[in-house]
Amino acid sequence: MITSPAFATPPPNILVVYAEDISVELGSYGFAPVHTPNLDRLAAKGERFSAFFTVSPVCSASRSALFTGMYPTRIGAHNHRTTNPQVLPEPVRPLSHIFRDAGYKTLNFAGPRRDPVTGERLATGAAGSGKTDLNFLPGAQPFFDLSRVSWQDVPDEQPWIGWLTIQESHKGIGWTIARETLTSLVDPAEITLPPYWPDHPVARDEFANYLDAVSLMDRHFGEMWEQMKAAGKHENTIIVFVGDNGRCLFRDKQFLYDAGIHVPLIIYYPDGSRAGTVNDTLISGIDLPAMLLGLAGLPVPEWMEGRDMLAANAQARDYVIAARDRCDVSMDRIRAVRDERFKYIRNFMPSIPYMQWNPYKEREYPTWNLIIELKGKGRLNPTQLLFAAPFKPTEELYDLHNDPHEIHNLALDPTYAEVLALMRARLDNWLAQGPDHGSHFDDPLELFRNYFGEGRTPLDYGQFQPIAR
């Protein structure tokens, strides 16, 4: 395994590929219904990480951590999206700036989403979307030396690190393109739904469409890989494939259950080392920047909270932390501690339901609306009613070995009193280590003005009116 590439000549290039809104539904992670031959090939040639968890279940906060090695709650990047982003607090710096100072060229890959002649949308995402979506400002310098570049723009005279986002698995155009262009689609009748989902055609179709979008994302990754090789940019390039946050489905994205924070991480080393290996080390999203620095043979700054988990002397994590705060206009504050077996969730605002009004989810998530409808008709079972309850429990505790879907809350079970006390203490200790900006809330009027316009309220917009509950 490459742990000290500083001894290599020349230094390695690094390509970081973000896939949007996916959990571990890939063939290499043992998920059969999805078709992901290109990423399965990457895993067979590289190292697959089975226990990588983002620190936030939503893109802007998660990406802020993946770009700084800091918890978003520590640096004011915790809300999705920050209405008034600020520069990073000293001494924190963006990862691109650190690499630039070390002599690396920093790149953001992007390409046209529509044909420049016909205006038709393109069925290829191989060039990347160019998305950054960070909750902070870069300061005096831009994030990247070259932005919206293609492989022909990649320099040969110096090492480079580039970021490339494949957006097709995100809710939106990719889900439509997948159904229009893929020759093999997932059969909604053949999938197994999570137990907290109702077995309904709408739910089955949404879950199957998500898997189709993942397959399309995989196809675009394969196209990108071939383009990189055709341009001769692959021979000394480490490829890091990672999900930015969990799958964009009901109860998953924007929440701290595993489907919202457990994402794939695969690293391919051009020397062929670690091919086909599986790394079960518990890794946090804040660790990835430190790992990238280590792959380039660069020191990890003392201020960075993340650890280089690839280093020979890496200190293993007993647990990881995740946080959810405001998402769009939906206020909340939730914190989670996860170790190898247990998940502890603390809801700081238990009077606010999980399914509080959220225009984005009511516009984009068919199963979200289905749950509201079926609840009104009395057609949900007790497991499905948990997430649709009018309030949240203050504490949640799950045995992930016996309850991987996190539906049996053990917080009030005296059998698990010691586990509960341990997990409580872990969270309390983390909170005491530094500022948690999530304890301060935005002015709701400022939020409404930011999202809906000066002098307006959400109810002025018919498409955003709350669905009757």
- Per-residue pLDDT of 116-135, as tens digits, reads 556 565 555 567 888 889 99
pLDDT, position 468: 44
> Domain check: are 201 and 251 in the same one?
yes
CA 168, 177, 14: angle at the middle one, nearest 5? Answer: 25
Per-residue pLDDT of 163-208, as tens digits, reads: 999 999 999 989 999 999 999 999 999 999 999 999 999 999 999 9
Closest CA to 215 of 187, 257, 244, 253: 187
pLDDT, position 122: 57
Q: CATH number for the domain including 211?
A: 3.40.720.10
Is 177 within a domain?
A: yes
pLDDT, position 452: 67
**Would you say the C-alpha torsion 287, 289, 292, 293 has a positive or negative sign?**
negative
pLDDT at 153 over 50: yes
Structure letter (DSSP) for residue 327: B
pLDDT, position 10: 81
More confident residue, 138 or 59: 59
Alpha-carbon Rg for the chain, nearest whole angstrom, is: 22
Find the distance separating the first CA and the last CA of the chain, reported in whole Å: 54
Q: How far apart are CA 152 and CA 107, in angstroms?
A: 12
Lowest mean pLDDT among 124-138, 140-154, 271-285: 124-138
Average pLDDT over residues 322-327: 96
> Domain check: are 45 and 156 in the same one?
yes
b/e map 99-122, b = 16+ CB within 10 Å: bbeeebbbbbbbbeeeeeeeeeeb
pLDDT, position 30: 95
pLDDT at 7 over 50: no
Sheet arrangement for strand 277-279: 146-149, 105-109, 160-166, 13-19, 237-243, 265-268, 47-49, 277-279
Q: How far apart are CA 184 and CA 194, in angstroms?
A: 23
Q: What percent of the chain has pLDDT over 90?
A: 78
> Domain check: are 279 and 409 in the same one?
no
> Domain check: are 303 and 377 in the same one?
no
Token representation of residue 427: 């969270």
pLDDT, position 289: 98
Q: Which of 3-7, 46-50, 443-447 has the highest mean pLDDT?
A: 46-50
Instruction: Among 256, 291, 324, give the residue marking a domain's end.
Output: 324
Per-residue pLDDT of 214-229, as tens digits, reads: 999 999 999 999 999 9
Closest CA to 198 of 367, 354, 25, 366: 367
> Domain check: are 84 and 152 in the same one?
yes
Sheet arrangement for strand 342-347: 320-324, 334-338, 342-347, 395-399
Q: How many domains does the chain have?
A: 2
DSSP string, 5-64: GGGSSSPPEEEEEEESS--S-SGGGT--SS--HHHHHHHHHSEEESSEE-SSSSHHHHHH
> Domain check: are 246 and 276 in the same one?
yes
pLDDT class for 72, splitting at 50, 70, 90?
very high
Q: How far apart are CA 178 and CA 136, in angstroms?
A: 33
Token representation of residue 74: 């520590």
CA 86, 90, 95: angle at the middle one, nearest 5? Answer: 80
Structural domain containing residue 376: 334-464
> Domain check: are 339 and 442 in the same one?
yes
Per-residue pLDDT of 230-241, as tens digits, reads: 999 999 999 999
Structure letter (DSSP) for residue 209: H
pLDDT at 463 over 60: no
Per-residue pLDDT of 354-385, as tens digits, reads: 999 888 899 999 999 999 999 999 999 999 99
How many Cα neighbours within 13 Å face the side chain of 363? 11
Question: Are 329 and 360 a contacting pair, CB within 8 Å?
Answer: no
User: What string of H, E and C letters represents the secondary structure of 132-186?
Assistant: CCCCCECCCCCCCCEEEECHHHCCCCCCEEEEEEECCCCCCHHHHHHHHHCCCCC
pLDDT, position 118: 62
Instruction: Among 292, 324, 356, give the residue marking a domain's end.
Output: 324
- Tell how strand 160-166 and strand 13-19 pair up: parallel
> Domain check: are 237 and 105 in the same one?
yes
> Domain check: are 345 and 309 in the same one?
no
Residues with Cβ < 8 Å from 335, sequence gap 6 or more?
256, 321, 322, 323, 345, 346, 348, 427, 431, 438
Is 329 within a domain?
A: no
> Domain check: are 316 and 347 in the same one?
no
pLDDT, position 270: 95
> Domain check: are 250 and 295 in the same one?
yes
Q: CATH number for the domain including 352?
A: 3.30.1120
pLDDT at 311 over 70: yes
Q: What is the mean pLDDT of the chain?
A: 91
pLDDT at 320 over 60: yes
Is 107 within a domain?
A: yes
pLDDT, position 116: 53
pTM of the model: 0.92
Instruction: Among 293, 324, 355, give the residue marking a domain's end.
Output: 324
pLDDT class for 6, splitting at 50, 70, 90?
very low
Is 288 within a domain?
A: yes
Is 260 within a domain?
A: yes
Average pLDDT over residues 143-151: 89
Is 301 within a domain?
A: yes
> Domain check: are 389 and 307 in the same one?
no
Is 469 within a domain?
A: no
More confident residue, 297 or 469: 297
Is 239 within a domain?
A: yes
Which amino acid appears at position 464 of this protein?
F
Q: What percent of the chain has pLDDT over 70?
A: 90
